Structure 1
Amino acid sequence: MTTASPTAAAALPQPLVRRLLAHAVAGGAGTVAIHAPATGQFLVDLPQSSPADLDRAFAVARQAQRDWAEVPVRERVSILRRFHDLVLAEQSAVLDLVQRESGKSRVHAFDEVGDVAVNARYYAARAERLLTPRTPRGVLPLLTRVEVRYRPKGVVAVISPWNYPLALAASDALPALVAGNAVIARPDNQTALWAIDVARRAGLPEGLWQAVLGRGAAIGGEVVARADHVDYTGSTATGRIIARQAGERLIGCSLELGGKNPMLVLADADPRAAARIAVRACFASAGQLCESIERIYVHDAVHDRFVAEFTEATRALTLGSALDYSYEIGSLTFPRQLDTVTAHVGDAVAKGATVLAGGRARPDLGPYFYEPTVLTGVRPGMTAYREETFGPVVSIYRVSSDDEAVEQANDTPYGLNASVCGRDVAHARAVAARVRAGSVNVNEGFLAAWGSVAAPSGGLGDSGTGRRHGPEGLLGYVDTQTIAVQRAVPIAPLPGMSQALWAKTMTAYFGVMKALRQQ
């Protein structure tokens, strides 16, 4: 592995810190010192929120939301368009911030800018149509007029993780806001505050998008207890807790959770092309990505050539911490991630697995760097076989048929993302349809499905419930209200008509409607 020369991540400028913290309701629970993962250097003392801070934030949000719900959708949309333009125009500032706070490379930080831009553009283009009241057929055509309206949930809690601090904070908040809700964000760092600051400058009224700061263990439950809907991205264990709490309150929740995502390299795949796809799919953001590939099943026919190409490409990756595009892979973000990666690789090797590339920490580069790692010989009984590593580690398995590959890919309680590589696209799509995952990419790792924001994204099984992106990602933030108006005659026997004749008449009507193929 080669390395790029690092650039020190200095403390954040105080004017920027003061501007961003103006959008956080925090300070009642002290401060926490934040350090740059790539260098260990101090960045900022981040104030933490107390229950009293949460009460204040939600009270302001509820008042702001009542007014916001009366604003025409086209005016809300215009703010999304300005937000889109500002994010792209000011991307250099937020890329620096994302890199400093997460340790990821700039190219992977840019993925977050792109994600926010395409989500803002999509919902700006589609929100007005999706939220326009519709008029389905009534029970008695011409006599029954039905209107379905969409009402915002109220105050939506967006609990976003540390690994994609801009994308997962902003891209979930945008559809909630354009649907007429207020948003209380519970992010892990200041990048979400930057997005709120941009939204305010784009014209979003004050109080509609605020942040409360603190670890999930400290305030997560308090946030859920006050919200009208919860959007959470993170671990399956925490997702179960939030689902129970939301269920007890009878509020909705959307949960994108963990994954142990597979890639299937079919017999007709181009080994070199598949290897390039796999490198991006496995090691984006140093593997700290819910959609990241951690298992690769390779057909006998191309196994040896794929492994050679993939191993060589992995070894050639550059590591660094500069605030530029001079390298490909950045740092892990927290000590616990480094500990998990080290433990998984160590356990596998101790039980007979072989390291083909990487396999070691790089403290010479920074406190949490770990080389992109390729393992073979991983078997049941090894931690890395079933548990999500959430780091730059992937295991390769040889298979002899599509059926074997699909069976092993589906042998997991998770079902978030998957990938299938093959020259015959029709065949690869057929194989993809057999894989149990919310998204399956053909000849791509994750960006084809993830970046296609007009289509829903989410998990099956232990990977969660609910969907972001697409119409589903907007309509999940509203309740439907049906208003039905009956005209001329009631839905009841006419004067002088017996109940028996009424039933006979309606039976005949139902038969006619079926014959006419009417709903």
Structure 2
Amino acid sequence: MSLPPSVTSELLAKLTGMVVSTSGRAYPVTEVYTGEEVVDLPQSDPADVQTAYAAARAAQAVWASWPLKRRLAVMKRFHALLLEQGLIVADLMQVETGKARRMAFEETCDVLMVTSHYIKAAPRILKERKHGGVVPLMSTSTEVRIPKGVIGLISPWNFPFATSLSDAMPALIAGNGVVLKPDNKSTLNVAYGVGLLYEAGMPAGLVQIVCGEGPDIGAALIENADYVMFTGSTATGRVIGAQAGQQLIGCTLELGGKNPLIVLDDANLDEVIAGTVTATFLNTGQACMHIERIYVSERRKDEFTRRFVEAVQAIRVAGAYDFSPDMGSLVSVPQRERVQAHVEDAVAKGATVLTGGKPRPDLGPAFFEPTVLTGVTPDMVLARTETFGPVTAIYPYTSVDAAVAMANDTEYGLNASVWGGDRRAAEAVGRRIEAGNINVNDGLAASYASKKSTSGGFKASGVGSRHGDAGMLKYTDVQNVAVLKKQVLTNPPDTDWTKQVDKTIKGLRFLRKLGIR
């Protein structure tokens, strides 16, 4: 299989040249569909990370001095450029991650949607807010939003473009610089996006790219940051959270999930089947919010299972640089081996594979069939550990209360889905599930794509959130500028404190009665 025409040796040289690296070490980037090496990706060392932060800080001082309107003009040009060149980004994502083209294209749309949202919302979010001060009429207090400085942003391989550029966008608009560490397996498409930001007029050096494994440069990345944004596994998130705490800096951690879907008895199965197939197998099941547990009542279990399995068997799996496949490859052979191990463990302990369950070496080294199991029990790895592949399990339930209890029986709490004909009843069930994102009659997109609302996880699925006002405000410090028109807060040396206490109590009582304080 040949690379897409847009992925030339000249483009690859340009993109790898954007990595700050003096180590002399390299990581071989392979085309996932074939396993053939495409280019050597330079690797950074801790000294390179410090260099990147120094350059970003110098550029950030300039960028933060620009009026918001000027920064937004850059992002408007970036938005236009990405609309024109988004399919090149999709080409690069397919080469690096093996995802289906339709999924790669949709990922570029996420960045477009986030950029558009914050172009519109930033003036309101970042606007100074004046409040009444401690002494009514005599003082004011104004909230001023100050950029944090330089953000350390660590993005994963499953949605590299979105978790890099979409998470960087509110930080940049707010006036910050960014030192970005994409995963080695998915840096090229991210570098292309950063190049578009520079083409749009962003100051040179504002966004820096460093590459390397977490144990090699992770500590340096956090030690030099003013805030950390991380998307990845819960295990790594715990380490990063501890390191950020030692540095006394804030962090957002979007972590793993073992996401449930509940089918209520009055649900429209035509809609449920189509929606569940998408929510389970999009991006080859490599999505933090995808569905890994399906709960169906005993009454409808047989019909749902039969129809769902038929729909899964109709999924078109292939490696192609066009829109014909429904599902592509897993990102790597080690990831395929992980998914396969989960399935084999479940089968060895008594689970039944209804469809799939095997690798597809005839398609490529990392392909795995879309897989549905039943009979999964708590002692199986697949029951509680995030599989992160095209695998889901169906569980029967006897009552809605039982379904909710099973859905909540997990350390995770990222996403949940409830399907029902009575939308109010389905929403009421959804509100009982311990998860940061609840989707009624949808699998995951309804909540995640709502850029005006925040998205985050409960329990071991994360700390903090992205999107919405909070997704931008987290990248700022708030400065309280208080102005007193006349000094009335200092008591004279001869104050009678017995009388002063009585006067203060009466004054506070009066202010409360008037509703002033």
TM over 0.5: yes
Paired position in structure 2 for 1:165: 160
- 2: CA distance, partners of 1:396 / 1:403: 17
Pair 1:116-2:111 in alignment: yes
- Residues 452-467 of structure 1 correspond to what in structure 2 (within 5 A)? 452-467=450-465
- CA offsets per residue over residues 268-313 of structure 1, 9 Å max, x none? 1112211111101111110011011100111223222211221111
Pair 1:90-2:89 in alignment: no
- CA offsets per residue over residues 22-79 of structure 1, 9 Å max, x none? 4321242411111111211221111111222112111111111111111111111111
Partner amino acid for 2:41? Answer: L
- Residues 322-333 of structure 1 correspond to what in structure 2 (within 5 A)? 322-333=320-331
Paired position in structure 1 for 2:422: 424
Partner amino acid for 1:429? Answer: E
Gaps of 5+ in 1: 1-5
- Residues 85-484 of structure 1 correspond to what in structure 2 (within 5 A)? 85-188=80-183, 189-484=187-482
SS of residue paired to 1:117: helix
Partner amino acid for 1:181? Answer: N
- CA offsets per residue over residues 61-118 of structure 1, 9 Å max, x none? 1111111111111111111111111111111111101111000001111221111001
SS of residue paired to 1:94: helix
Contact kept, 8 Å, 1:493 with 1:502, in 2: the verdict is no
Q: CA deviation at 1:503?
A: 2.0
Which of 2, 7, 15 is residue 20 of structure 1 equivalent to? 15
Partner amino acid for 1:47? Answer: P
Q: CA deviation at 1:204?
A: 0.7
Pair 1:47-2:42 in alignment: yes
SS of residue paired to 2:53: helix
- CA offsets per residue over residues 217-248 of structure 1, 9 Å max, x none? 22112211111111000011111111111101
- CA offsets per residue over residues 375-409 of structure 1, 9 Å max, x none? 11000101101000000000110012111111000
SS of residue paired to 2:293: strand
Q: CA deviation at 1:513?
A: 2.6
Contact kept, 8 Å, 2:228 with 2:252, in 1: the verdict is yes
Contact kept, 8 Å, 2:50 with 2:220, in 1: the verdict is no
- 2: CA distance, partners of 1:355 / 1:230: 41
- Residues 465-504 of structure 1 correspond to what in structure 2 (within 5 A)? 465-493=463-491, 498-504=496-502
- 1: CA distance, partners of 2:398 / 2:510: 56
SS of residue paired to 1:362: coil
Contact kept, 8 Å, 2:57 with 2:150, in 1: the verdict is yes
Per mean C-alpha deviation after superposition, the further-off stretch among 494-503 and 179-188 is: 494-503
SS of residue paired to 2:178: strand
Contact kept, 8 Å, 1:282 with 1:394, in 2: the verdict is yes
Per mean C-alpha deviation after superposition, the further-off stretch among 267-276 and 407-416 is: 267-276
Q: CA deviation at 1:316?
A: 0.2
Which of 32, 38, 41 is residue 37 of structure 1 equivalent to? 32
Structure 1 7/16 Cα, relative in aligned 2: closer, same or farther at 3 Å? closer
- 1: CA distance, partners of 2:71 / 2:111: 16
Per mean C-alpha deviation after superposition, the further-off stretch among 50-59 and 468-477 is: 50-59
Q: Percent identity?
A: 45
- 1: CA distance, partners of 2:75 / 2:452: 16
Paired position in structure 1 for 2:53: 58
- 2: CA distance, partners of 1:274 / 1:379: 24
Paired position in structure 1 for 2:68: 73
- 2: CA distance, partners of 1:57 / 1:279: 42
Partner amino acid for 1:502? Answer: Q
SS of residue paired to 1:166: helix
Per mean C-alpha deviation after superposition, the further-off stretch among 7-16 and 109-118 is: 7-16
Superposition CA RMSD, Å: 1.5
Partner amino acid for 2:512? Answer: K
Contact kept, 8 Å, 1:10 with 1:43, in 2: the verdict is no
Gaps of 5+ in 2: none
Contact kept, 8 Å, 2:182 with 2:190, in 1: the verdict is yes
SS of residue paired to 2:151: strand
Paired position in structure 1 for 2:516: 518
Q: CA deviation at 1:494?
A: 6.5
TM-score (norm 1): 0.96
Contact kept, 8 Å, 1:165 with 1:192, in 2: the verdict is yes
Partner amino acid for 2:325? Answer: Y
SS of residue paired to 2:130: coil
SS of residue paired to 1:254: strand
SS of residue paired to 1:207: coil
Q: CA deviation at 1:508?
A: 1.9
Q: CA deviation at 1:343?
A: 0.7
- 2: CA distance, partners of 1:458 / 1:101: 27
Contact kept, 8 Å, 1:185 with 1:210, in 2: the verdict is yes
- 1: CA distance, partners of 2:105 / 2:444: 15
Contact kept, 8 Å, 1:9 with 1:41, in 2: the verdict is no
- 1: CA distance, partners of 2:306 / 2:511: 64
Partner amino acid for 2:453? Answer: A
- 2: CA distance, partners of 1:29 / 1:410: 48
Q: CA deviation at 1:495?
A: 8.2
Partner amino acid for 2:110? Answer: D
Paired position in structure 2 for 1:3: none
- CA offsets per residue over residues 308-349 of structure 1, 9 Å max, x none? 221111000001111110110000002221111111111111
SS of residue paired to 1:440: strand
SS of residue paired to 1:157: strand
- CA offsets per residue over residues 449-483 of structure 1, 9 Å max, x none? 11001100111111110111000000000011111
SS of residue paired to 1:394: strand
- 2: CA distance, partners of 1:216 / 1:10: 33
